[in-house]
Chain A
Amino acid sequence: MKYQSHHRVGDQPWLRRTLILAAVALSALLLAIPLVLIFTQAFSAGWGALVSNIGDRYTLHAIGLTLFVALLTVPLNLVFGTALAWLVTRFRFPGRKLLVTLIDVPFAVSPVVAGLLYLLLYGRNGWLGSWLADYDVQLMFSWPGIVMVTIFVTCPFVARELIPLMQQQGTEEEEAAVTLGASGWRLFRRVTLPNIKWALIYGVVLTNARAVGEFGAVSVVSGNIRGQTNTLPLHVELLYQDYNIAGAFAAASLLAAIAILTLAIKGVAEWRQARLLAREPADRNPQ
């Protein structure tokens, strides 16, 4: 007979079943079914239509631009996020708490406001933008603006993944490494990095997902020029406004696939990181 652990609140079978059912039902309605809809709509005109939708010239360009933006954004934010996490969890200095709060700003700010901020600064009438225009440099309504705004919107993610973890892990291993004579990079590479590996991976993957999917901020600064400054989410909107539902959802399905992949990697990363933390030997030689 299975050992019955102590009774806890909410253990009664009827309550348990009701709550689980409610949770599952609502999750299905709000989370699962929308996902399913994306793919059914994408396939609604058949495989051939799906392929030609995705292979459409403008869609391909949008995919390319989106990937390009992500390619620039993610490494930059990776470096920044790691540096900030190291700074904030390993040292004490005045203004530390302010920095931690500042990093949440892109979270709290509406993406349209974010786009507007950049537009006001770098647009033709902004003080920096007009100065740059004198040198024939135009950042808004072309890809640099999109990249900058995407960096803004996605910069918290790596830091927010690393900071609680690094705080929880404490500094003892790193202090030990210092007493053993390790220099800065060696210390980080051999002692810190392996301990935060999975959280870092998830932070990167999440940054990527958000960079690829950013809509509001990019809408403001991109100019929506089909074939030139349309990212994939913008292109989805364009197709939808054109009543090309199948096309819109075809493009959307690509984005949804990235989202699903992101979630899958998150699952793996969390699991691996938890095992690291719990000090369980995972794939070591168990003896």
Chain B
Amino acid sequence: MAHASPLKPRSKRVLPGFGLSLGVSLLFISLVLLLPLTGLVAETAGMTWSQFWFVVSDPRVVESYKVTLWTAFLASLFNGAFGLLLAWVLVRYEFPGKRLIDAMVDLPFALPTAVAGITLATLFSTSGWYGQWLETIGISVAYTPVGIIIAMAFTSIPFVVRTVQPVLEELPPEDEEAAITLGASDGRVFRKVIFPSLWPALLTGIALSFTRSLGEFGAVIFIAGNTPYETEVTSLMLFVRLQEFDHAAASAIASVVLLVSLVLLFAINLWQGRYLRRLHGK
């Protein structure tokens, strides 16, 4: 009996193109995504810890962290609610103009942020369509953190809607019907049957919205007024430092921002992997 030889067919994959697609992908990712990181690393490596800390903990910068964080937080909460409402209405009801609204949800995605920025700034300025109306009830939006929140909310509307929509669509009606036949009220069915399936997607959408809002620049700077210590977001801080040719400071701040973004990204992906797969059983 011939001794069984280790099986290693010449190309070890059934479908073609592994080598080529791997090569192209790795080359691209290295050149476009990874290589630029080396510049940042080089720049920050040239700083000492105390220099780094000095820049990163500068009061004006710290204030910008705070402003960015809490405005992004509130914007994401708003989007959580608005996005849920939109997703619900789009999936479960029929009404004229539904297709139009469904298409419009992606507008913030397709519209350049600068255009969104000047539009929102104009809308909410004291002489703008919304601004003049809000002034009469004593709410100022332009040049205040409220404006930042609105700009952030606008640009990340699609995230929650598009994450929740598919989950709502796949919700089996039988689950609800079973609960109803067992005598549960609508509110109870929503709390116990529907929402448990929804909240992972909702949380993911909110987290994505938050991450995006943290870095939002174009839409924010027109409406914010950019007053230091009050309405300055961190991405603008970075820009300011760059205009001052203070590359070291910009790099330091950027590395903090980058770190936070990457941590959030990985956390979201891990979360999605765990929860959304369990739900969909992919």
Contact = CB atoms under 8 A, between A and B. Distances in A.
B242 A119 contact: yes
Interface string B221-245: 0100000000000111011001000
A207 B216 CA distance: 18
Contact of B15 (A8, A9, A174): A174
A113 B92 contact: no
Nearest to A82: B21
Given A167-B282, A248-B118, A80 B212 contact: no
B243 to A, nearest CB: 10
A236 B39 contact: no
A20 B95 contact: yes
Given A24-B101, A167-B282, A178-B14, A206 B110 contact: yes
A225 interface: no
A58 interface: no
A216 B212 CA distance: 13
Interface stretch (B50-58, B59-67, B140-148, B172-180): B172-180
Contact of B17 (A86, A104, A108): A86
Contacts of A106: 33
Contacts of A219: 217-218, 239
Contacts of A116: 40, 238, 242, 250-251, 254
A117 B247 CA distance: 11
Contacts of B35: 121, 128
Given A110-B261, A213-B113, A38 B42 contact: no
A56 interface: no
B69 interface: no
A187 interface: yes
B77 interface: no
A108 B262 contact: yes
Indicate the size class of the contact surface on chain B.
35 or more
Contacts of B43: 120, 126
A32 interface: yes
A260 B120 CA distance: 18
B212 A107 contact: yes
A236 B238 contact: no
A65 interface: no
A102 B30 CA distance: 11
Given A108-B265, A110-B216, A121-B35, A263 B40 contact: no
Contact of B103 (A86, A114, A210, A267): A267
A116 B14 CA distance: 43
Nearest to B90: A23
B38 interface: yes
Interface string B138-165: 0000000000000001100100000000
A232 B112 CA distance: 10
B49 to A, nearest CB: 19
Interface stretch (A47-55, A251-259, A275-283): A251-259
Contact of A236 (B85, B115, B239, B247): B115
Contacts of B82: 26, 30
A248 B121 CA distance: 13
Given A10-B186, A19-B88, A233-B112, A127 B242 contact: no
Interface of B: 13-18, 20-22, 24-25, 28-29, 32-33, 35-40, 42-43, 82, 85-86, 88-90, 92-93, 95, 97, 99, 101, 103-120, 122-123, 129-130, 153-154, 157, 173, 176-177, 180, 186, 189-190, 194, 211-212, 214-218, 222, 234-236, 238-239, 242, 247, 250-251, 254, 257-258, 261-262, 264-266, 269, 273, 282
23 contacts: A6-B173, A9-B189, A12-B186, A84-B25, A91-B13, A108-B264, A110-B238, A112-B217, A118-B39, A121-B38, A155-B32, A184-B17, A187-B15, A216-B113, A240-B222, A248-B118, A249-B118, A252-B112, A255-B112, A258-B110, A259-B110, A259-B115, A263-B107
What are the nearest 10 A-B pairs in CB distance? A110-B215, A213-B112, A121-B39, A120-B39, A184-B16, A216-B217, A215-B218, A87-B21, A117-B36, A108-B265
Given A110-B217, A112-B215, A122-B39, 19 more contacts: A20-B93, A87-B21, A87-B25, A91-B13, A101-B266, A108-B264, A109-B215, A111-B215, A111-B218, A112-B236, A113-B258, A116-B40, A120-B39, A121-B38, A148-B32, A187-B16, A234-B114, A240-B118, A267-B103
Interface of A: 6-10, 12, 16, 19-20, 22-24, 26-27, 29-35, 37-38, 41, 79-80, 83-84, 86-87, 90-91, 93, 97, 99-114, 116-123, 125-128, 148, 151-152, 155, 167, 171, 174-175, 178, 183-184, 187-188, 206, 209-210, 212-216, 219-220, 232-234, 236-237, 240, 245, 248-249, 252, 255-256, 258-260, 262-264, 266-267
